[in-house]
Amino acid sequence: MRALAGPAMLLVMVGGFAIYRGMAKEEAPSHDFLELEFAGADADRTGSCYSLSTVLIANGVFGSTTRTWKAAGDDSWTLDLETVSQSYNGPVHEFQNFTFEKSGKQVQLKSVEASAGRPTDVTRNIDMLLEAPNGRHSTPVERCAGSGAAGYHYNPRK
Amino acid sequence: MRFIVAALLLAQCLPLSACKKEVTRQEVAAFVDKADNAARKRFAPEICELRGKDFRMKMKFQGHEARMEPTQMEIGRKLYCANAGSFSRLRQYKLERTAMDIDIATDRRTARVTADYIETMPYYEPGMMPATPDDFTHFQVVESRDESVVGVEDGDLVFLSTEADAHQSLILKSSVAIPYD
């Protein structure tokens, strides 16, 4: 019995450390979720030809804003973007919370919350989010890699 | 074998010794000194590690133009830390604490610290991209009263929350000498 005391204690310590590391990790959607095609704002939800990760990178969300992912359901995630901007009367907290949901092979923007002065209309936000990847001709998803591909607001490189 | 068991027991007890629960006035005063020094160094990781996991900061800020309404904001630790990082760009910064009062809670688990500060740093106009750190005409002087709750987290003292009421004024760059550091 005594011989087992040491290894048992070691097991408790290692287990405790593993639990601590697991709890400290920030949650985030899977790579598969981020690589889904971002849906357009039309009634048919036509694909935009860009993955969600491409849309986010093109919009610079990995820049000076802080970003936090929160699970909003089984196949749904909310991305909170926050920053402090300087105005003439002092620092101002600005935020945008985007909720994305998986739908088949696409990911759709379901709702937007934002600080005063920023739009919360979903259609407008989808259009705004797609301006950057379309303007930069970001890398499209495989479906749109060939010539003649069509997508919501998609502007293939000539 | 006994020695190994004793060593393992000791190793298990070490984290328990970090389970400090009560705070004293002296510890809190030393902690605030440490936090002020971290702010003077403008080193974000050091500033950040003194804030608790669920740290919240509320700030009311009256800008130098009195005719404009003050801004109010509430931010969490993540954004606070990101913002602290931007302080590292300043080459001239002065922080003075002019008053401090520490009130220990009856259960001795937290302390309420009320402190008055005067910060002096370059004022860059909003939206302006300075060509060099010297590209400014005025220093901003921010006088604030901070009310913070200090408590113990993972055995260490941390700020649990801060409410700041700040007032900004501008002074000519030539009117004050702040060393570069």
Contact criterion met (CB below 8 Å) for B71 and B65: no
Tokens of A99: 């909720």
For tokens 């302080």, name the residue: B87
pLDDT of residue B15: 53
Find, among A62, A73, A156, A90, the residue nearest to B60 by Cα. Answer: A90
Task: From first to last of the 181 residues of chain B, give the pLDDT tens digit.
Answer: 555 655 555 555 555 555 567 899 999 999 999 999 999 999 999 999 999 999 999 999 999 999 999 999 999 999 999 999 888 889 999 999 999 999 999 999 999 999 999 999 999 998 888 898 899 999 999 999 999 999 999 999 999 999 999 999 999 999 999 999 8
In this complex, is the C-beta atom of B107 within 8 Å of any C-beta atom belonging to chain A?
A: no
Interface contact flag, B1 A82, Cβ < 8 Å: no
Distance from CA of A125 to the nearest CA of B (A): 23
B163: part of which helix (H) or strand (E)?
strand B156-172
Distance from CA of A28 to the nearest CA of B (A): 16
Best of A13, A19, A93, A94 to mutate (most B CBs within 10 Å, chain B): A93
Task: Kindly list the residues from chain A whose CB atom is less than 8 angstroms away from the CB atom of residue B82.
Answer: 64, 66, 83
- When pLDDT is cut at 50, 70 and 90, the band that residue A156 belongs to is confident
pLDDT of residue B3: 55
pLDDT of residue B109: 96
pLDDT at A35 over 70: yes
Determine the Cα angle at A88 with ends B67 and B141, to 5°.
Answer: 85
pLDDT at A20 over 60: no
- When pLDDT is cut at 50, 70 and 90, the band that residue A2 belongs to is low
Chain A residue with the nearest C-alpha to that of B166: A90
Distance from CA of A50 to the nearest CA of B (A): 29
The least confident of A14-18, A62-66, A107-111, A134-138 is A14-18
Contact criterion met (CB below 8 Å) for A112 and A127: no
Task: Kindly list the residues from chain B whose CB atom is less than 8 angstroms away from the CB atom of residue A2.
Answer: 1, 5
Q: How far apart are CA B84 and CA B56, in angstroms?
A: 14
The answer to pTM > 0.95 is no
In this complex, is the C-beta atom of A92 within 8 Å of any C-beta atom belonging to chain B?
A: yes
Interface contact flag, B79 A82, Cβ < 8 Å: yes
Portion 18-47 of B in contact with A at CB < 8 A: none
Phi, psi of A106 (to 5 degrees): -120, 165
Looking at per-residue pLDDT, the higher value among B156 and A61 belongs to: B156
Distance from CA of B173 to the nearest CA of A (A): 19
Q: Per residue in B62-83, pLDDT tens?
A: 999 999 999 999 999 999 999 9
